[in-house]
Amino acid sequence: MDFSKKLSVLKQNHLYRSRKVSESAQDTQIVINGKSVVNFCSNDYLSLANHGQVKEALKQGVEAFGVGSGASHLVSGHTRAHHDLEDALAEYIGQARTLLFSTGYSANLGIFSALKDELDWILQDKLNHASLIDGNQLSGLPLRRYLHNDMASLKKKASKQSGQGMIVADSVFSMDGDRANIDDLQKIANFSNAIVMQDDAHGFGIFEPNIPKNSIYMATLGKAAGTMGAFVAGNDDFIEFLIQKSRPYIYTTAISPAICVATLKSLDLIKQGEQQAKLLTNIDFFRNFSNALDLPISNSHSAIQPLIIGDSEKALKISQSLFEQGFYVGAIRPPTVPKGTERLRITLNANHTQSQIEQLLMCIKNAL
């Protein structure tokens, strides 16, 4: 295979991806490639990744449990820290049980792998995360997608299905920042012999979870919670079924128990609500100021604020210009988003100042 030629094509089409090296802790102000910049492309929405209390809890977790878990959950890797975190997460979201996974990606793959012999059809929102699409392909069932957040499209497609189905959607869409209407999804599922599965990676810890009875809920801990890992929630029988059948769960080393101790502290801070209030205030300020500047920001009321550019080269140039001016904003290109919707994906966190937001938006206005 000629990988060099394939890489050259990616570069020519402005689709080549390169890594920047962070030389500081995850925070609002970080050092990237030796340059100090304000970070507007992190999913650390509640600014907990470098929170003093969370770091102290991690140290305590290391003292109590060491660093690595040493094995998968079903061998010897499932510690009291893992068990306590699962119980705390279940209580927080009002579900019977939760099950920890090492990443959100593996959690989604784990759900589909466990259900592959239980489902006859799956319908997915057009803009669902890649892990949901990959999980669908793992199931062996056809990938069928309804128009984004379009209940008429979903209802029409669901009416043509037979047998046991599953309707799948992000709760907050990772590239557009808008939210699914879980109640409407559940209504259609009720008439279609289907269960609802939602991926709440970008909403957990920020918005009150909406989890219909007997549905499937997945959320990650590496975003608003500021640590790492993910969990799936459901009734007792479903969680037990995942333990028996989910290959990514069975065959993956459990996350560090110290991380679980740190996440328990993150959950305490989430419950206090102070960081969410700061984030929601920043979201409102960002939207009001961008409207005042007449910037074409997409209609999102989450921490994800997309600015559609529509061209990969232009998106990269604006991103680089912002970086040179001290702002780190990612340029998102195909295949992550459809061709023609290339964008700047601006993400807000609780510790951004209004001055930082103002300066960023003024720089974007000038760049456009």
Residue 34, both tokens: 């030796």
Query: Over the Cα atoms of the chain, what is R_g?
Result: 21
Residues in the chain: 368
Residue owning tokens 């020519």: 12
- What is the pLDDT, as a whole number, of residue 17? 87
Helix, strand, or coil here: 2? coil
> CA–CA separation, 114 vs 218, rounded Å?
14
Residue 344, both tokens: 């700047």
> CA–CA separation, 81 vs 119, rounded Å?
34
Residues 126, 147: contact at Cβ < 8 Å?
Answer: yes
> CA–CA separation, 80 vs 265, rounded Å?
15
Residue 148, both tokens: 């984004």
Neighbours of 25 (CB within 10 A): 11
> CA–CA separation, 316 vs 14, rounded Å?
8
At how many degrees (to 10) do helices 257-272 and 274-292 cross? 70
- What is the pLDDT, as a whole number, of residue 149? 97
pLDDT string in tens for the chain (368-residue length)? 889 989 999 999 888 888 888 899 999 999 998 999 999 999 999 999 999 999 999 999 999 999 999 999 999 999 999 999 999 999 999 999 999 999 999 999 999 999 999 999 999 999 999 999 999 998 899 999 999 999 999 999 999 999 999 999 999 999 999 999 999 999 999 999 999 999 999 999 999 999 999 999 999 999 999 999 999 999 999 999 999 999 999 999 999 999 999 999 999 999 999 999 999 999 999 999 999 999 999 999 999 999 999 999 999 999 999 999 999 999 999 999 999 999 999 999 999 999 999 999 999 999 98
- What is the pLDDT, as a whole number, of residue 2? 87
Query: Quick one: how many helices (H) and strands (E) in the chain?
Result: 13, 13
CA torsion angle 68 49 317 335 (round to 10): 50
C-alpha angle 176/178/181, rounded to 5°? 140
Residues 106, 230: contact at Cβ < 8 Å?
Answer: yes
- What is the pLDDT, as a whole number, of residue 148? 97
Residues 166, 195: contact at Cβ < 8 Å?
Answer: yes
Distance between alpha carbon 250 and the CA centroid of its chain, in Å?
23
Taking alpha carbons only, the member of 126, 332, 344, 304 closest to residue 202 is 304
Strand residue runs (E) in the chain: 29-32, 35-39, 97-101, 121-125, 144-146, 165-170, 194-199, 216-220, 230-234, 304-308, 327-328, 330-332, 343-347
Distance between alpha carbon 33 and the CA centroid of its chain, in Å?
25
